[in-house]
Amino acid sequence: MSNILIIKHGSLGDLIQANGAIKDIKNFYSNRKVFLLTTQPYSIFMSECPYLDGVLIDKRLPRWNLFYLNNLKKTLSKYDFSKVFDLQNSSRTKFYKRFIIKKVEWSSTETVLEPGQKKRDFDKDPVLDRLEIQLKKSGIETEFTKNIDLSWTLENISRLVKQYANNEYILVFPFCSSKLKNKKWPYYQELIQKLKQEFKNKYPILIAPGPNEIDEANKLNGKVVLDNNEPINIKKLISLINGAKLIIANDTGPAHIASHLDKKGLVLFGSHTSAEKVSIENFNFKAISVKNLEELTVETVLNEVKIRLN
């Protein structure tokens, strides 16, 4: 029997948001094997996803690397895919449709456009709305696409929490991709100091850096969470977020995780996009949106924190 392929390269936040759609696809194709094509940083994490039967790695090498592309084509052809769900909807995956995974039924943004509708207009809609439309066009019931279940990602991290905090802690994510520095609010160090003063150290302020963020984290006067002196893995990160009293973050993967775990928290947005478009707000997790993040004051963020903790 033929298999199903889902393409979602990343980032972490994008993969978290795609979890519901992945579950709905697997539920629909319960008698088929469903594989994910993603990138190396997320392969181990997603290989533990119960809605997938396997994970394939795409190195995303330049398209002039014909040797790599030919090998990728050969690898994918071995799995006899009958349908591809392109949840990345990028120029690269559009290229794959034309040259790498041909003669296969394909679901993408472009295949679900209404007559006369332009992709650039469709892409302005909230991301989860777009995923829902894409799956429904293939006849898939979207029970989880906008109701994402991350229970499979949670594990016991009591040892780690005991090392850095009591039962309650505030978790701060002051980082962002080096390519997207416009997402970064510049006043986390001052905010952490104010939080300590305001709550008289009732809530330890934890920071969970990635591999290239440890030095920056050490400068911010919070408690830097490491596991055996290494950054925690994705499942421990999600579990740490799940146990937090409050999360404060830039528009990055941890913010999306906090939102879909329905945690109390704040995500800080500049003009790079909107909270609505990335489907990040809910009853407990709210966005503070400004035109220029440098103009968002510590006092404004602190006041919002106090409202949620008092």
Domain regions of the chain by residue span: 3-149, 153-309
Q: What is the pLDDT of residues 211-240, one digit of tens each?
A: 999 999 999 989 999 999 999 999 999 999
Report the run of H or E that residue 130 belongs to, with start and end.
helix 127-136
* 3-149 and 153-309, same CATH topology: yes
Residue 45 has pLDDT above 70, yes or no: yes
Q: Is 60 exposed, middle or buried (0-12, 13-18, 19+ CB in 10 A)?
A: middle
Does domain 153-309 fall into CATH 3.40.50.2000?
yes
Verdict on whether the full-model pTM lies above 0.85:
yes
Does domain 3-149 fall into CATH 3.40.50.2300?
no
Residue 108 banded pLDDT, cuts 50, 70, 90: very high
> Helices then strands (H, E): number in the chain?
12, 11
